[in-house]
Structure 1
Amino acid sequence: MAVEILESCMVKPSDAATTTPLHVVWLSNLDLLVARSHTPTVYVYRRPSPDVPGFFSPDVLKAALSKALVPFYPLAGRLGQDGAGRPEIHCTGEGALLVTARADATLQDLAAAGGFAPSDELRQMLVPSAADGEDRAGILAMFQVTSFKCGGVCVGAAIHHTAADGLAALDFVNTWAAIASKGVDEAAPRPWLDRTVLRARSPPDVRFDHSEYARRRGGGPKTARVPFDSAILPMSKTQLDALKAGGGQGNKKVSTFKAVVAHVWRCACMARGLAEDDDTRLYITADARSRVRPPLPAGYLGNAIFRASAVAKAGDVVSEPLDAVAGRVSGATARLDDEYVRSLVDCLEQVVSDAAGLRKGEWVMPETDLWVISWQGLPIYDADFGWGRPAFMGRACLQFSGLVYLVPGPDGDGRLDVVVAMEPKSLARFKELFYELIKGAGVPCMAE
């Protein structure tokens, strides 16, 4: 599929009654320990029937983006550094990049060629990249609106992770869409810009073991990317219910999240052929917003996510009932209260000055491990620009092997997509086991 760039421009914040401030935004330790890159996502929209005028008009999108950047003005700035080399956001008002493009294919053609499973090719076609030119260095928000021959449209978004985590990025895109659809007066509330609410204590008081941020054997900056393939594995509500009902002993209830994570962990151990006494670590991304006291302000623009983990023997993950493995997942998240988060922020104060190799995606994660990120409960389908909600929303590409996303379906029917990146030699077997073990009975055996 060929994509032709039609226009590329910088959109600056603009409001007749407002001038955006020119200052520096201090970044918290949680901002500095995420991937130092843009997060690429795609929103797919089908043309309404009957047709409507002005479908994804570039002028409408440009004007709405300019207005959205007024309250979210740090995203119109540039990533810089202070005198000591610590990253910070310079609120310069230089703007966000907006690209319009045209594809020589239909959405159906794209689906037939592999659909929207994350891949480097998908990102290169549909999402702007900072690698595409020196003039993009430091830009925090980039978008590409691609029109397809069938009339459908894809909005590719790339928001720098240092500037915003997933929920904060969604708040911005959804605000942009609300302004395009309904006008600025009905858009979302203004974001909370002050990140000092997550400043480390003085002196630091580390009371917990934060091994997820320790340097591991074979760690440090990665020298080579481990090859992997990606796939989207859909689960219907019926399959989810069957998994939860057939995976335990007794009447113990297991949440959808914990059941699916336990199932994925088990399938990965088997597909990778791990030995029974191999240690396997499960990373989970957690959100601090509601865990700290007081909770972070609504609309917090920054990173409030952090990693938690559980470690087990592969033989136990495979042989235990699903609810027991789900209990291990619960153990990883049960202690994550205000004191734990404050302890973590204090712990990170000691490593942010030398964080290379500790940020997500900057080390080679061993084939024994998984990292699961859930988008359940996030407003990923709320970006209605005035012509309907997206038919699909997801990552454009994944960063490394062993990364898994849990993404709800767009129709509210209880469906869940499991998006997984794994070594090519293991992914095919993983996909087979994924569905076999949902309907299978009894305790599975370790792969020989």
Structure 2
Amino acid sequence: MMTSSIVQRVSECFIKPLHPIEDSKQISYLTGWDIAMSSMHYIQKGLLFKKPTTSPNNQQDFIESLLKKLKYSLSHALFHFYPLSGRLVTHKTQHPPSYTIFVDCSNNNPGARFIYATADVTISDILSPVDVPPIVESFFDLNKAINHDGHTMPLLSIQVTELVDGVFIGCSLNHCIGDGTSFWNFFNIWSEIFQSQSCENENDVPISRLPFHYRWFLQGYGPPISLPFKHHEEFISRYESPNFRDRFFHFTPESIVKLKAKANKEFNTTKISSFQALSAHVWRCVTRARGLTNDQKTSCKLAINNRLRLEPPLPQEYFGNTVDVVSAEMTVDELLQNNLGWAAWKVNVAVVNHDDKQVRKMLKEWLESPVVYQLGRHFDPQSITVSSSPRFNMYGNEFGMGKAMAVLSGYANKFDGNVSSYQGYEHGSIDLALTLTPNAMRALELDEQFVNIVV
């Protein structure tokens, strides 16, 4: 059933901000952190809900009402998150070569795309298989689009897919516009607006946390930032994902507490966090499953939020990218011959050392020699890269259907060794989505140290 099912798009429209955007807000220059994402895919995350139990006639009424409220609340949300309704624009000069990217937030843009689709599948069809079924990729718009495509494609696209017994709300957000923190801040506020208004209420709905839109630039470097390129082909590439396996692993609060205690005891410290211990555990298990030779280099890379690391700190509501990647590196022999605590401490050191001075140093180096991340080149198959965060409020988003059944992601940014972290369904639990080669995934599923920890 899963292989033959096709997601049918029923309707499509564009949603603009509820009110016109002020002239003073119509241009937003991209920072170095934003521009570095130009060749990556859009962020694709979504929530799977169970449909309310009603009669067939009421089912159609429910969907029509849901779509109407989603569109209206999205229009409200876009007024606050107005860059998402815009388009990317580039200004180029030939002599000297210069390439400047900004967001055109003017009211002339069509806005965010909104799609309603149907799929003849059930919640069980999605959640029961061991691996994430391929059809989930069809629950998102803009598959395989890279962020530079935001010059001609919407910067935000929402796809609402009606299943037999459920509804999936998939969000594709241009990664040049925001990082994971920005993504979930937007999703949270959209949900907040949805829950606090009716479609008949034309008045503005107050929101709990206004986004902060004034982008942060290193002193002496912009805005705007001019790249030393003549054409986007000099820094853009298209990545086609090979044949990977993609599946979720669930870690209960109890298993996470045990891992943290084990790591701290082995290194005789109390400073290793739960997430650092979990990341190190996955790193060691995946490295073992890959069967790498002892002298090969391996690393555990973590996407890290710079907002609170800067001095003075940026607000958590800062809308944009503030992400760096920190790394603990060693040989395979060092990683596997030493214990969990030793590896977790190396991860801890990489995180702790990433302070205001290091953030500014890394950004200055980038600005003086810009590098646009390429999926096919900047992520090596001997390492793991841990992104997203279980701290994001994912299950707090409700759209009249109660708590979501699951959080899922699309095609975007999957590579060998990708580890996406999610808030677990039960409080204090963590879900990790791992992307590995089929051989490595099979070996991991047989690794006793790994399977004894997961559910």
Same fold (TM over 0.5): yes
Counterpart of 2:67 (choices 36, 52, 58) is 58
CA pair 268-169 structure 1, distance change in 2 beyond 3 A: same
Secondary structure of 1:365's aligned partner: coil
CA distance in 2, matches of 1:262, 1:371: 11
CA pair 375-283 structure 1, distance change in 2 beyond 3 A: same
| Partner residue, 1:28 | 31
User: What letter is aligned with 1:62?
Assistant: K
User: What letter is aligned with 1:32?
Assistant: I
User: What letter is aligned with 1:92?
Assistant: S
Counterpart of 1:287 (choices 284, 305, 308) is 305
Deviations 1:228-277 (A, max 9, x none): 21111111223223333445427533321111111111112111111222
2:280 matched to 1:262? yes
TM-score (norm 1): 0.84
Matched pairs, number: 412
Report the Cα offset of residue 111 of structure 1: 2.6
Deviations 1:341-368 (A, max 9, x none): 111111110222xx3xx41524163321
Report the Cα offset of residue 137 of structure 1: 2.6
Counterpart of 1:38 (choices 39, 42, 51) is 42
CA pair 65-250 structure 1, distance change in 2 beyond 3 A: closer
| Partner residue, 1:240 | 256
**Larger deviation: 38-47 or 225-234?**
225-234
2:278 matched to 1:275? no
Counterpart of 2:397 (choices 371, 383, 401) is 383
CA RMSD of aligned residues (A): 2.8
CA distance in 2, matches of 1:295, 1:365: 29
Counterpart of 1:422 (choices 421, 426, 436) is 436
| Partner residue, 2:228 | none
| Partner residue, 1:446 | none
| Partner residue, 1:187 | 207
CA pair 130-379 structure 1, distance change in 2 beyond 3 A: same
Counterpart of 1:319 (choices 318, 329, 337) is 337
Unpaired runs of 5+ residues, structure 2, are: 93-97, 198-203, 223-234
Unpaired runs of 5+ residues, structure 1, are: 204-218, 441-448
Deviations 1:116-153 (A, max 9, x none): x2x65422x20111669x99933100011111111x11
User: What letter is aligned with 1:12?
Assistant: K
TM-score (norm 2): 0.83
| Identity over aligned pairs, percent | 23
Q: Say whether the 8 Å CA contact 1:170–1:380 is kept in structure 2.
A: yes
CA pair 14-260 structure 1, distance change in 2 beyond 3 A: same
Deviations 1:81-106 (A, max 9, x none): 12332222111332100001111121
Deviations 1:179-220 (A, max 9, x none): 11103424233211111x2335469xxxxxxxxxxxxxxx99
CA distance in 2, matches of 1:130, 1:230: 16
Describe how 1:40-119 pairs up with structure 2 within 5 A.
40-48=44-52, 54=62, 57-83=66-92, 84-93=98-107, 94=109, 95-113=111-129, 117=132
Secondary structure of 1:405's aligned partner: strand
CA distance in 2, matches of 1:311, 1:135: 35
User: What letter is aligned with 1:369?
Assistant: S
CA distance in 2, matches of 1:28, 1:434: 45
CA distance in 2, matches of 1:370, 1:434: 20
Q: Say whether the 8 Å CA contact 2:41–2:144 is kept in structure 1.
A: no
Secondary structure of 1:262's aligned partner: helix
